[in-house]
Amino acid sequence: MTRIAVTGAAGRMGKVLIEAIDEADDLTLGAAIVHPESSLIGVDAGEMAGIGKNGVAMAGNIADVRDAFDVLIDFTFPDLTLENLEFCGRAGKAVIIGTTGMTDAEKEQVAMVGERIPVVFAPNMSVGVNVVLNLLKTAAAVLGDDYDVEIIEAHHRHKKDAPSGTALRMGEVVADALGRDLKECAVYGREGFTGERSGKEIGFETIRAGDVVGDHTVLFATMGERIEITHKASSRMTFAKGAVRAARWLQGKPAGLYDMQDVLSLKD
């Protein structure tokens, strides 16, 4: 039985991850870690997640549960994820990272630790979004520069980073297929007298409202037609199940930086 630790255990994803691990026959929750100041330290993780007692008392520090897990699943904040990753790098534990909003330097740090331990790092763990990434690659390659590309994403009011990690990954996939560098062609929102759209830009629009779990649309438009490729998540369980699948896939893998395209065998 592989023992999983979940950081940010009381967060939106943390609770659903605990439920998904409980539903997996071959995985068990070894540790659940909450904020060091949290009043939930010592509380049963299963009870907190609404699935009934599971005998795992929540900890306030990953070092306190070092021997209780084999794989860490971390959906938290960039700086916390990097601290936890460094810890796992030293302890020789595999890590699944769902955290978004990292800078290039932070992503580079993830890659460096990935030279020492197996790491799956993906902005969206759902099977659906990962299939969409492949559809986008095909669509962009066939449609080419005649089609304007706009990426529209919507998330709940509590989300802290924008655009979403998924939208940015979609932009990277489309830019790559079109032979562009996203850093040079991305336009984030528009306001005022912007002038006409330049042919090669990839636009991003962000919506933050209510309880939207996660919607992404990539729009390809030219004179006379448009194509919209949309993914809508209606439950966080889709992300949690993907993370559980990644944890299972990571068993026995050598050190390296992997993503969900590796986990789902979607790479060419």
Ligand X SMILES: O=C(O)C1=N[C@H](C(=O)O)C[C@H](O)C1
Ligand Y SMILES: NC(=O)C1=CN([C@@H]2O[C@H](COP(=O)(O)OP(=O)(O)OC[C@H]3O[C@@H](n4cnc5c(N)ncnc54)[C@H](OP(=O)(O)O)[C@@H]3O)[C@@H](O)[C@H]2O)C=CC1
Active-site positions?
155, 159
Which residues, numbered 25-44, are part of the site for ligand Y (CB under 6 A)? 33-36, 38
Peptide bond into 163 cis (omega under 30): yes
**Nearer residue to ligand Y within complex by CB, 54 or 76:** 76
> Which CB, 56 or 149, lies closer to ligand X?
149
Q: What number of other Cβ atoms are within 10 A of residue 91's Cβ?
A: 14
CA separation for the pair 79, 99 (Å, rounded) = 10
Helices (H) and strands (E) in the chain, counts: 9, 11
Region of residue 87 (phi > 0: left; psi between -120 and 50: alpha; otherwise: beta)? alpha
Tell whether residue 15 is a contact of ligand X (CB under 6 A). no
Distance CA 30, CA 16 (A): 15
Does residue 99 touch ligand X according to CB under 6 A?
no
Query: Is there binding between residue 100 and ligand X (CB under 6 A)?
Result: yes
Of 43, 24, 61, 257, residue with least CA distance to 16 = 24
To ligand X, the closest distance from the beta carbon of 110 in angstroms equals: 15
| Calpha distance 167→198 (Å, rounded) | 20
Residue 252 annotated as binding site: no
Is 214 a binding residue for ligand X by CB under 6 A? The answer is yes
Q: Please classify residue 63 by burial: count the beta carbons closer than 10 Å to its beta carbon, then call 0-12 exposed, 13-18 middle and 19+ buried.
A: exposed
Q: Which of 6, 13, 85, 175 binds ligand Y (CB under 6 A)?
A: 13
Q: Is 9 annotated as a binding residue?
A: yes
**Is 260 one of the annotated binding-site residues?**
no
Q: Considering the rule CB under 6 A, would residue 7 count as an interface residue with ligand X? A: no
Beta carbons within 10 angstroms of residue 67's beta carbon: 9
Those residues with Cβ within 8 angstroms of residue 27's Cβ, 6 or more apart along the chain or in another chain:
1, 2, 3, 4, 21, 244, 247, 248
Q: Name the amino acid, one letter, at 149.
A: V
For 112, phi and psi rounded to 5 degrees?
A: -65, -45
Query: Nearest approach, Cβ of 42 to ligand X (angstroms)?
Result: 28
The entry of ligand Y, ligand X, none that residue 155 binds, CB within 5 to 8 Å by partner kind: ligand X
String marking each residue 91-120 x if it binds ligand Y according to CB under 6 A: -------xxxx-------------------
Report the residue from 75, 87, 204, 258 that binds ligand Y according to the rule CB under 6 A.
75
Residue among 30, 89, 123, 163 that touches ligand Y (CB under 6 A): 123
Site for ligand X in 164-203 (CB under 6 A): 164-166
Annotated binding site: 8-13, 98-100, 122-125, 156, 165-166
- For ligand X, the binding residues (CB under 6 A) are 100, 123-124, 155, 159, 164-166, 214
- For ligand Y, the binding residues (CB under 6 A) are 7-8, 10-14, 33-36, 38, 75-76, 80, 98-101, 122-125, 165, 239
